[in-house]
């Protein structure tokens, strides 16, 4: 038995593809839990500065881990493209959260847009 044979069979009879799929499913579920908590603690209320800082730190790590996993899954040789698609969707959601919460539009820019749209 070669190292390649062992690595393809995976652990406990699971294939590497199954392990990867389950890992991404678990990560996706964690991302959803983070987004649900974000809605409850940041978007639906007026968060404290401490809550915003906790969210900022947590979101940075969520983004880092998602990008790292996505980098692997988006490799052209990776066998299951659905995994990359799932991770890309989560990455887009997390990046949107970052822009929406931590890169807010300046009031002057928002007012300018409102004047243009609603003259």
Give the tens place of pLDDT for each residue, 54-77: 999 999 999 999 999 999 999 998
Would the pLDDT of 24 be above 70?
A: yes
Instruction: Evaluate if residue 48 carries a pLDDT over 90.
Output: yes
Domain count, the chain: 1
In a domain, residue 4? The reply is no
Whether 3 maps to a domain, the answer reads no
Higher-pLDDT residue of 79 and 36 is 36
For residue 9, is it within any domain? no
Cβ–Cβ contacts within 10 Å for residue 30, how many?
Answer: 14
| Assigned domain for 26 exists | yes
HSE, side-chain direction, 13 A CA sphere, residue 89: 12
Average pLDDT over residues 70-91: 92
Let me know if residue 58 belongs to a domain: yes
Domain span at 105: 14-114
Task: For the full predicted model, state whether its pTM sits above 0.75.
Answer: yes
Structural domain contains residue 74? yes
């Amino acid at each position: 038995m070669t190292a390649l044979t062992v690595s393809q069979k995976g652990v406990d009879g699971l294939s590497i593809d199954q392990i990867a799929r389950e890992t991404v499913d678990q990560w996706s579920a964690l991302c959803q839990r983070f987004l649900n908590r974000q809605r409850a603690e940041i978007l639906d209320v007026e968060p404290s500065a401490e809550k915003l800082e906790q969210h900022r730190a947590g979101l940075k790590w969520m983004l880092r881990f998602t990008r790292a996993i996505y980098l692997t899954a988006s490799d052209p040789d990776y066998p299951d493209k659905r995994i990359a698609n799932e991770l890309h969707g989560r990455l887009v959601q997390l990046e949107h959260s970052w822009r929406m919460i931590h890169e807010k539009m300046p009031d002057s820019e928002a007012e300018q847009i409102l004047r243009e749209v609603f003259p």
